[in-house]
Structure 1
Amino acid sequence: MSHIHSREYIEGGSTVSVECSHQINVIVMDDSNYSNFKNGRSFKHYGGFYKRFPANITVPHSGNWNVVLALPAGHQANIRYSINVIG
């Protein structure tokens, strides 16, 4: 599964704001769940499939968070995007 990935420390209560040129899955998860995601196992996350932007996802606690942009299976696109943290 190919995806765009960004990992950074984010303070609890801050919002991850994503702009994207395509409808896409925007998912935010901790390191353990990102490992599960990469390995095709069950994982817990915040976010989902977005058709309209910005996608704004608030993280519940401080820590290292992984922001993933993933097209639905079988889709390809030249994606333009930005990921910003507010707060």
Structure 2
Amino acid sequence: MSKIPYADTNGSLSVEVDLKHAADVYLVDSNNYRKMNSGQIYTYFGGHYTRTPVNISVNGAGRWYLIVRGGGQYSYRFY
């Protein structure tokens, strides 16, 4: 499994993702990342995107993980 990108924040965080193909793009906090990996119901910000770039912004301190599924290669930047 490849390394999951993440960023730490004290307040708000945004990510821009450039997709090669349509994909599911999510930002999840640490608690929901654990739930996701253990097969539980989890909450995320994002969804299925067919256009690029994808911009997602969240509010909340802590570590946020970027999940990209089904789109193949992509590039991203947190800001």
Which structure shows the higher strand fraction?
A: 2
2: CA distance, partners of 1:64 / 1:45: 13
* Displacement over 6 Å in runs of 4+: none
SS of the equivalent of 2:4 reads strand
2: CA distance, partners of 1:51 / 1:3: 23
Match of 1:50 in 2: 49
2: CA distance, partners of 1:3 / 1:22: 19
Cα distance per residue 1:25-60 (max 9 Å; x no partner): 100011110111112210001000010011100011
Are 1:40 and 2:39 matched, yes or no? yes
The offset of 1:4, in angstroms, is 6.7
Match of 2:24 in 1: 25
Aligned length: 79
**Percent of paired sites with the same residue:** 27
The offset of 1:82, in angstroms, is 0.8
Which segments of 5 or more consecutive residues in structure 2 lack a partner in the other structure? none
Normalised to the residue count of structure 2, the TM-score between the two structures is: 0.84
Which segments of 5 or more consecutive residues in structure 1 lack a partner in the other structure? 72-76
